[in-house]
Amino acid sequence: MIALTVLCCVLVAVIHRFLQYRRAVAAIQDLPGYRILLWQGGALANFLLPPVSGISPGVNHIFRNKYKMYEDWGRDVFSSVCVWPQVQIGLTLANAAAVKEVTSSRARFPKPTHDYRVLSFFGRNIVGSEGEEWKRYRKIAAPAFSERNNRMVWETSVKVVEDMFNLVWRDQDTISVDHCVDVTLPIALFIIGVAGFGRKVSWEDDEAIPSGHLLTFKNALHVVTTQVVLKLIVPDRLFGMTEHLRNVRLAFDELRQYMKEMIDERQNSDKGLKHDLFNSLLDANDVDDLSQRLTDDELLGNIFIFLVAGHETTSHTLCFAFALLALYPEEQDKLHHHIMGVLSDKTVPTYDQMPQLTHSMAVFNETLRMFPPVPTIPKISAEDTTLVTENSNGERQTIPVPKGTKIIINTVGLHYNQKYWHDPSTFKPSRFLGDWPRDAFQPYSSGARACLGRRFFETEGIAILTMLVARYKIEVKEEPQFVGETFEERKARILTTRPGLTLTPVRVPLVFKRRV
């Protein structure tokens, strides 16, 4: 009798869920797309599962498929309807007009803050917030991203790269690295440390573990950003089970301690650089209105977000840029020729020359087009509404969008859509030297929620890229196990990615040869 009762309950639940699923499919007029068990935006589907028809599109499927899904389904929007953990409708967009409508309509399509809980380990922050809370965080942080600060970012970037040439590479003719991130990661970390937080770290003392710590600041931050998915899917009580999990837990504890020490040190000092990001965050707590002050957790949460945004996105983007320049030597030669024309007899670019370095900017933008740091930008429909797109024949189509629908701006799909970008799989920086479809370029998102630190990111990226290419020629490292591979095989190997907080290069072995 008990077994029969349980069986009946299960059957009723299954029928109920099936009917919910059918209503969801009907609500979007059976728009083509995935019909799957697991939500395509979940951690399990995104980070762990292979592609299984009817179950999950699999790990890194957005970047892996790029625009192919849209070609298969004959339009620039496809749907996803899943049944677990609940029936959920999703629309994934690679249409510039539809994307612009979503990003410019904050009330209709707010950010689903629940999806950003993975970034709130240390406290609430500007990325994982919406509404009045987000406005408060933005008001506090915005003054730090000024023209004066951008000049400091440029000068800091030049100094950090010069120190690497002199103290680490020591003007050697050839520098061989097993993974380019080993070069770009510390550069980006030093720059955000100085220009964002007034925390000077040199190449010489980078590996020294300070008293009271078990990890360096760089290693703690690197482990946290690369292993953050474990904090999302593994319960806290299980982090003592294996040595790897214990190391991840240690890194989170160490990073929290480092950030608290940074706060204490700055609060007890003369605050040094008055216009950096750190002071903007700390000064928020000097106002009389208690409701406008940051709590201790909010301060830690926002420091963490800006540290991640300030080092990992730059590090990975530059790694991809150097990989592309190594794979396309003719494009590297064009860039070098342009840089030398701007610098003339000077060896160090100045901030005032940045507007003239148009080819450096083109290479940077083309890298972001091909490898956007955030492949997808989630939104949610706050009301029953519609979106307009086109099918493969260019015919306009109105798509119903029920309240609660998950909207995914597919940055990769948009960037590889041949309606906007000719031959999108080929590295062509020149496409950014003339007129180009700005609404189809979304590495920073757009609208009110566009990236606050865009100019900071561009400034340090252009400075670093220009310095390296001016002084060194970049080549793919020759390895005996890959002798005889075709260009396409080499390209696929060097540009292999995996998902993370930002799109992550797996292994980019390069050689830097000093130019004569």
Number of other CB atoms surrounding residue 502 within 10 Å: 19
Alpha-carbon distance of 407 to 79, in angstroms, equals: 9
Q: What percent helix, strand, coil does the chain show, rounded to 5?
A: 55, 10, 35
Number of other CB atoms surrounding residue 211 within 10 Å: 5
The mean of the pLDDT values for the chain is 89
**CA atoms lying within 13 Å on the CB side of residue 260:** 12
Q: Is the pLDDT of residue 488 over 60?
A: yes
Confidence at residue 271, expressed as pLDDT on a 0 to 100 scale:
54
For 162-187, letters b (16+ CB in 10 Å) and e give ebbbeeebeeeeebebebbbebbbbb
Q: Is the pLDDT of residue 46 over 70?
A: no
Domain residue spans in the chain? 2-119+378-413, 134-377+414-514
Q: Is the pLDDT of residue 289 over 70?
A: no
Q: Is the pLDDT of residue 129 over 80?
A: yes
Alpha-carbon distance of 302 to 306, in angstroms, equals: 6
Q: Is the pLDDT of residue 98 over 70?
A: yes
Confidence at residue 270, expressed as pLDDT on a 0 to 100 scale:
64
What is the mean pLDDT of the segment spanning 461-487? Answer: 96
Confidence at residue 280, expressed as pLDDT on a 0 to 100 scale:
76
124 CB-near residues (< 8 Å, 6+ apart)? 133, 297, 298, 301
Number of other CB atoms surrounding residue 208 within 10 Å: 11
* Residue of 276 and 99 predicted with greater confidence: 99
CATH of 134-377+414-514, picked from 3.40.50.300, 3.30.200.20, 1.10.3730.10, 1.10.630.10, is 1.10.630.10
Determine which helix (DSSP H) or strand (DSSP E) holds 81, and give its type and residue range: strand 77-84
Strand blocks (E) in 344-481: 376-380, 385-390, 396-401, 406-410, 472-476
- What is the separation of C-alpha 73 from the centre of its chain, rounded to a whole number of angstroms? 27
Confidence at residue 293, expressed as pLDDT on a 0 to 100 scale:
75
